[in-house]
Amino acid sequence: MKSNGNKKRNIRWTLVLYDMIIYLVVAVLLLILYGGNDKLATPTVVQQMILSVLCIFAARLIGNIYGQVWRYGGIQCYIRLLFTDAVAFWVYVLLELILPINKITFARMLALFCMNLLGALALRMMYRYALQMRQSGNFAWKISCEASLHGIRCTGCQ
């Protein structure tokens, strides 16, 4: 008989890495490149990035997002990701109010979390779609991208 106290967490570190890349792209776009009315100083950017990455990834680890098997999971996997990121957002809002750090606007804060969540959801949906196409026996799903002088041209999926 298995003991509930001895559950081993199987964290998929590759997925953590992909999510981290998505987070970094979004954070750079919204905290560094986007000027807006309130151009952020470097210490503010660093503080906000550290606080947000801790909240997002701690919530996802506690919520066992990286322990799920996405190829077999259904809608409950996506709902769990939505829920854990919502919890992370509200923890972030509270910590930003409590901690003595430089503040950012609520709109920028919300955009940071929503764009990160959108990227994470899109990544998982693309993975499931590619897996379904591969398992269906239809190999037309394969996309061959060729670099050309005019950019990248993708062929396939006819």
Spell out the residues 6+ positions from residue 154 whose beta carbon is closer than 8 angstroms to its own: 143, 144, 145
Give the Cα separation of 49 and 89 in Å (integer): 13
Question: What confidence category does residue 157 fall into, taking pLDDT thresholds of 50, 70 and 90?
Answer: very low
pLDDT at residue number 138: 58
The pair of structure tokens assigned to 23 is 């987070």
35-74 pLDDT, tens digit per residue, is 777 788 999 999 999 999 999 999 999 999 998 877 666 7
- What is the model's pTM? 0.78
